[in-house]
Amino acid sequence: MRIALLVTTAILFARQADAQSLPTHGIRGPSLAIRNATIIDGNGTPASGPADILIIGNRIASVTFLDPVALRSPTTKRPAADREIDATGKFVLPGLINAHAHLQDERAHVPQPFDYTLKLWLACGITSVREVGADTTQKVIAIRDRGARGELASPRLFISGRFSNAPVPQTPASARARVRELKAMGVDGIKILGIDRDIMQAMLEEAHAVGLRVAHHAGVEETNAWDDARFGTTSIEHWYGIPDAAILDGRQHFPSPYNYRNETDRFRWAGRLWREADPTLLGKVLDSLVAAKVAWVPTLDIYEASRDLQRAQTQPWFSEYLHPTLEDYFRPAPSNHGSYFFGWGSTDETYWKENYRLWMSALRDFERKGGLIGVGDDAGFIYQMYGFGLIRELELQQEAGFQTMKVIQHATGNNARILGREADLGRVRAGYLADLIVVKGNPLENLKVFYPTGVDDVRDGKVVHDGGVEWTIKDGIPYSGPTLLAEVKSMVAQARASRSRKP
Ligand SMILES: [Zn+2]
């Protein structure tokens, strides 16, 4: 009989918890109990605890709220488990879901290990990722399947195969064929971008017929948010297609030398897009998206360099955790997508700051009207690191005016709905998959506690460095946050050292 069976009070448990009863990093045992947790669920309800969460295999078996009086009684029975995590003073949430991410194995054709991204995601508390567009769909499907079998440390991957991989479908018939081809490949969804109306209509009809969800990177293109509402896209990614649908003249006023293929042009003038949207028409666009149940994954974080370049370039985690391949990729270069900072000045930043204010207010309106907002980071571009970008996205959604409780719901329960997995993901609930995180610090007070590098805090008059995701549990497999972060650190140090050895 295990020690846990004999433990009857929280105080007693706290004394008896030892290294032996702690879970082993990366190993799923028969059962795991998280004791004395304060739970923040993924459905927007208030924090609640203390509770014992029992995980058996890869499922949450029970969530038992503890009566403080009963806790003091030595006869109170608590669920027994092989391994235990004492979450006294900590917060337990559903694992974060990253609804817009890229699993990259190279930047500018220089190889970068998948493991770097996968471990950063887990270290940041991310247990599910909607991968929205890789060059080689089969490759990311293979990683998804290895992760699902527990052969590598990885969040659950939901692969949205990129519709426009070469040869790009040019006719409705080839659009339908591409959808069937992706379905046969075993994707979980499809990502579209820069798509013409007839192709979009055909591909969405086919996607609905074969039961695939569609994410639309709604750029400035032939189609816009009206088409997403009409044809039934699952989610609009980013934002451009929304204000673009609300311009009275039908098209943004670009200067005559503007060229969409020039990224400095494109991003500079994108910063002046929201101001051209007519507020009344914008309201109607949002209404139509809500009525058609089109979700919105805004990825506010990926544009932040446009409003504050210096902040983006000097993020503190770059010093130890930025892979040199990614570091190189971020440097301004016309050939690297998102590395467009040539002659970027205070005027650009000022327009972008206004752009953000209008965008954030549209996001608030969208949710007030009943729209579903998700959270994704689009990292690997524009100074955003995998995982860290998602936490920055949470902060920016708070800045947009959402309560932290709602922001957490966006990243958990809402994202599960975007994946079509609200029945078994995104909640701390018996019967749900055991995707949970144990966080040091209260994210309802400070979302920065999710950063694996921690936060400075003051406790009892003393400055302490604390915070971070202590445990990320995916599919019942516990991963120690600090261990993952140390692995990433050494991976980066080795990559830098081997690079400096080269002539
Ligand atoms: Zn993206």
The three state secondary structure string of 213-236 is EEEEECCCCCCCHHHHHHHCCCEE
- 264 with 135, same domain? yes
Rounded to a whole number of angstroms, the distance between the first and last alpha carbons of the chain is: 61
The verdict on whether omega for the bond into residue 79 sits within 30 degrees of 0, i.e. cis, is no
Give 3-state DSSP helix, strand, coil % of the chain, rounded to 5.
Answer: 40, 20, 40
Nearest to 302 by CA among 361, 217, 229: 217
Distance 205 CA to ligand 1 centre (A): 23
Distance 487 CA to ligand 1 centre (A): 26
d(CA 371, CA 295): 6
Residues 6+ away with beta carbon under 8 Å from 154: 118, 121, 122, 143, 144, 146, 147, 474
Distance 187 CA to ligand 1 centre (A): 17
d(CA 103, CA 114): 7
Instruction: Mark out the alpha helices in 74-196 (DSSP H runs).
Output: 114-123, 137-148, 172-185
- 178 with 222, same domain? yes
CB distance 150 to 475 below 8 Å: yes
Distance 99 CA to ligand 1 centre (A): 10
Is there a domain that residue 489 lies in? yes
d(CA 472, CA 390): 15
Is there a domain that residue 225 lies in? yes
Distance 452 CA to ligand 1 centre (A): 23
Distance 386 CA to ligand 1 centre (A): 12
Is there a domain that residue 321 lies in? yes
Q: What is the CATH number of the domain that holds 62?
A: 2.30.40.10
- 229 with 87, same domain? no
Distance 377 CA to ligand 1 centre (A): 8
User: Residues 33, 37, 43, CA angle at the centre, nearest 5°?
Assistant: 105
Distance 213 CA to ligand 1 centre (A): 16
Is there a domain that residue 14 lies in? yes
Residues 6+ away with beta carbon under 8 Å from 334: 262, 263, 264, 340, 342
Nearest to 373 by CA among 216, 229, 232, 237: 237
Distance 370 CA to ligand 1 centre (A): 25
User: Residues 306, 371, 304, CA angle at the centre, nearest 5°?
Assistant: 10
Distance 483 CA to ligand 1 centre (A): 28
Distance 300 CA to ligand 1 centre (A): 12
Distance 215 CA to ligand 1 centre (A): 10
d(CA 145, CA 122): 17
**Which pLDDT value is given to residue 11?**
38
Distance 402 CA to ligand 1 centre (A): 23
Is there a domain that residue 501 lies in? no
- 166 with 18, same domain? no
Is there a domain that residue 500 lies in? no
Distance 33 CA to ligand 1 centre (A): 37
> How far is Cα of residue 357 from the mean position of the Cα atoms in its chain?
22
- 368 with 219, same domain? yes
**Which pLDDT value is given to residue 16?**
46
Distance 129 CA to ligand 1 centre (A): 12
Distance 102 CA to ligand 1 centre (A): 7
- 265 with 347, same domain? yes
H-helix or E-strand spanning residue 464: strand 462-466
Number of domains in the chain: 2
Distance 101 CA to ligand 1 centre (A): 6
| pLDDT-flagged residues of the chain (< 70) | 1-20, 502-503
**Residues with Cβ–ion distance below 5 A, ligand 1:** 378
> Helices 481-501 and 114-123: crossing angle, nearest 10°?
150
Q: In this structure, what DSSP letter does residue 281 have? A: H
Distance 193 CA to ligand 1 centre (A): 10
Rg (CA), the chain: 23
Distance 297 CA to ligand 1 centre (A): 11
Distance 314 CA to ligand 1 centre (A): 22
Torsion sign (Cα): 135, 137, 142, 148: positive
Distance 140 CA to ligand 1 centre (A): 15
CB atoms within 10 A of CB 212: 22
Is there a domain that residue 499 lies in? no
Distance 237 CA to ligand 1 centre (A): 8
- 197 with 313, same domain? yes
Distance 296 CA to ligand 1 centre (A): 13
Is there a domain that residue 502 lies in? no
Domain hosting residue 43, numbered range: 3-94+429-494
- 220 with 125, same domain? yes
